[in-house]
Amino acid sequence: MRRRVVVTGLGVISSLGLDVKTFWSNILNGKSGISRVESFNTTDFDSKIAAEIKDFLPTDYLEKKEARRMDRFVQFAVVAAKQAFDNCKLRITEENAHRVGVLIGSGIGGIKTFEDQARTLMEKGPRRVSPFFIPMIIPDMASGQVSIFTGARGPNLAAVTACASSTHAIGEALRIIQYGDADLMIAGGAEATITGLAMAGFSSAGALSKQNDHPEKASRPFDAKRDGFVMGEGAGIVVLEELQHALARGAKIYGEVTGYGLSGDAYHITSPHPEGIGAMKAMQMAVKDAGWEPEQVDYINAHGTSTIQNDLLETKAIKLLFKDHASQLAVSSTKSMTGHLLGAAGGVEAIICLLALKQGIIPATTNYEYPDPDCDLDYVPNEPRRKAILRVLSNSFGFGGHNASLAFAKYE
């Protein structure tokens, strides 16, 4: 019998709050974290908006010297991981350190540091490039630094699968515990890509919304007037723990991770499969892995990016798997409020799913005003819905055809 895995700690850094309580309150109140970008001059940019975190001071949480040696995405990861680990109330000792691991994903890593140091190279020469340049930009450094700060000496890995990174990270952490290689894993994702180069790149690809006049309305998943995603930043970290280990120490349990599915589209570097087959297979695998029948799923936290293709093809994928039950499912995209945190999206959305299960309330898809006849599911428009739910899926899909889905169940 495989080991059961539950979630005993949550930590989040986002434009909707620098702690879980504030974040969740703003999600339920339908507040938008999207506004005009202030960290650089967007005059020449087609898209001038993002879910930018404007009140995060790393020195509020880290020593100044430590903070200077971390890219912003690593700062987010360390602070969110500290929250989650404090929340789970486990103390790491010499006896248990090798049974606690870390697996944190990031789609891009330290792009702000990369931009800054490239400018230094061009303007001041190679001797002025920071000796910390490489350890600040590599995506695995979030896992590395969290391990250092917590003392976790168990399995230590990183997931880099674009916008599916943190969903894969949580899924692979689940497997590590199920296989018996750790009793507890700190898992999730972190991203900090609101920079000139990153936004220029996504904009050139036609991926970003240009609804600059009303930033809070720009991310409109499944809506007929959607025109692209809005970039976000932050981190979502959870603590996964083997059930008996959690019960033995009286830990608070937020929910159970019951299944994990993953697939590849084998289709295109940026576009999802036109029939949604890869997305469907990831959900199908997660449902099967959880031991559920498709009609038992109550809610899906959709990838729902607010791009024309993603929302249409995710809708197709849901219909393909769930058939008649698709019309009974609640499906919402909280990216309408958080923006799209790229590699950190799945970590933040896992926390949303767990709190929805715990409290019996489904968060809304905000900015849903103009129905798209090709997107015709129940997207929980504009207002959260109080409903007892037992089983949920969380979807993440990334450039390169990476698809991942997690199954969470209410713990009873």
- Residue 245 is a catalytic residue: no
Distance of CA 95 to the CA centre of its chain: 32
What is the DSSP secondary structure assignment for residue 126, as one 8-state letter?
G
% of the chain beyond a pLDDT of 70: 100
| pLDDT tens digits for range 377-392 | 999 999 999 999 999 9
Average pLDDT over residues 334-347: 98
- 0.95 cut: is pTM over it? yes
Does 412 score more than 90 pLDDT?
no
| pLDDT tens digits for range 97-147 | 999 999 999 999 999 999 999 999 999 999 999 999 999 999 999 999 999
Does 285 score more than 90 pLDDT?
yes
Sign of CA dihedral 386, 322, 406, 167: negative
- Give the class (CATH, top level) of 259-409: alpha beta
Average pLDDT over residues 303-319: 98
Catalytic-labelled residue, pool 163, 273, 353, 402: 163
CATH 3.40.605.10 fits 5-248, yes or no: no
Catalytic-labelled residue, pool 168, 245, 273, 303: 303
Catalytic-labelled residue, pool 168, 245, 273, 340: 340
Does 190 score more than 90 pLDDT?
yes
- Residue 268 is a catalytic residue: no
pLDDT value for 61: 96
| pLDDT tens digits for range 11-40 | 999 999 999 999 999 999 999 999 999 999
Q: What is the DSSP string of 97-122?
A: GGGEEEEEE-SS--HHHHHHHHHHHH
pLDDT value for 385: 98
CA pair distance 230, 133, nearest whole angstrom: 28
Cβ 406 vs Cβ 346: under 8 Å: yes
The residue extents of the domains of the chain are 5-248, 259-409
Whether 5-248 and 259-409 share one fold: the answer is yes
- Residue 88 is a catalytic residue: no
**Would you call 366 exposed, middle or buried from its count of C-beta atoms within 10 A (0-12, 13-18, 19+)?**
buried
Q: What is the DSSP string of 269-314?
A: SSSPPTT-HHHHHHHHHHHHHHT--GGG--EEE----S-HHHHHHH
Tell me what the pLDDT averaged over the chain comes to: 97
pLDDT value for 1: 77
The one-letter amino acid at 296 = Q
% of the chain beyond a pLDDT of 90: 100
CA pair distance 285, 279, nearest whole angstrom: 10
